[in-house]
Amino acid sequence: MATWDWQVFCKNTIDGEVIPSCFGSGGDITYLNWLMSAWGWTLSVSALALVVALAVGSLMGILRTTPNKWLVFIGDAWTETFRNIPLLVQIFLWYHVLPALIPPLRQVPSFILVVLALGFFTSARIAEQVRAGIQSLPKGQRYAGLAMGLTLPQTYRYVLLPVAFRIVIPPLTSESMNIIKNSSVAFAVSIAELTMYALQVSEETSRGIEIYLAVTGLYFISAFFVNRLALFIEHRVQVPGMLGAGR
């Protein structure tokens, strides 16, 4: 059976010497330092992409349910564009192709580009869910809001969205967890996140099993934390007697 060597994380990345404290000092970096930094990159990319995805996705989802056909068209076009191109290809488009066409983009750090690519990709999926959430409400609610003299934005703000967003929390939870897992493609454009860490360090140390176990654990912890957080929010905002609030 394979023998474990967890000491590998205490090794210095320059000369492979084991450092007793497992954390390097004075410019030395151990594989554990590096792992923590890689986790940080994964979480930063995911968190910022999630903010982009929720903001843009909600907007596009709402546009698709408005009575104005031009707004609907914009929302539909956005969703179909970003939903039908593979994520990895989108990342390369942002990183290599668009900067070739639009020179100012060359100065933009790859971190921002990856956040946009991942955020927009996920926003298409969120737009679809938000649209489904709003359309699942009885038409009468919209008419009732308008009949009371509310404007269309007010109808959305006070009548439709509060219910629709509560309904779509479970699928949004999935998307938020997916964003952490999907952030692994960021390694393709030189973000030193967990997947790149795993590829690089298993080559350097020949300790692939330990490395992948550690990385898997961190991905699991990150996604599971999002899951618990979303569950907490779901319970906090639920309204008795409403859909999905049976517990």
What are the residues binding another protein (CB under 8 A)?
Answer: 1, 13-15, 96, 99-100, 106, 110, 187-188, 190, 192, 196, 199-200, 202-204, 206
| Amino acid at residue number 186 | A
Is the CB of 50 or the CB of 211 nearer to another protein?
211
The nearest distance, CB 121 to another protein, in angstroms, is 18
| Sequence-ordered list of residues with C-beta below 8 angstroms from that of 72, at least 6 positions apart, any chain | 63, 64, 65, 66
Is the CB of 106 or the CB of 236 nearer to another protein?
106
Match 């151990």 to its residue by tokens: 30
* Residues across the chain: 247
| Amino acid at residue number 205 | T
Is the CB of 111 or the CB of 165 nearer to another protein?
111
The nearest distance, CB 48 to another protein, in angstroms, is 20
Query: Can you say how many angstroms the Cα of residue 18 is from the centroid of all Cα atoms in its chain?
Result: 35
| Amino acid at residue number 116 | L
The nearest distance, CB 135 to another protein, in angstroms, is 40
The nearest distance, CB 200 to another protein, in angstroms, is 6
The nearest distance, CB 95 to another protein, in angstroms, is 8
The nearest distance, CB 39 to another protein, in angstroms, is 17
Is the CB of 78 or the CB of 95 nearer to another protein?
95
CA atoms within 13 A on the CB side of 197: 28
Is the CB of 13 or the CB of 141 nearer to another protein?
13
Report the alpha-carbon angle 158-159-165, nearest 5: 95
Q: How many CB atoms lie within 10 A of CB 54?
A: 19
Cα–Cα distance for residue pair 87/185, rounded to 1 Å = 8
Is the CB of 36 or the CB of 97 nearer to another protein?
97
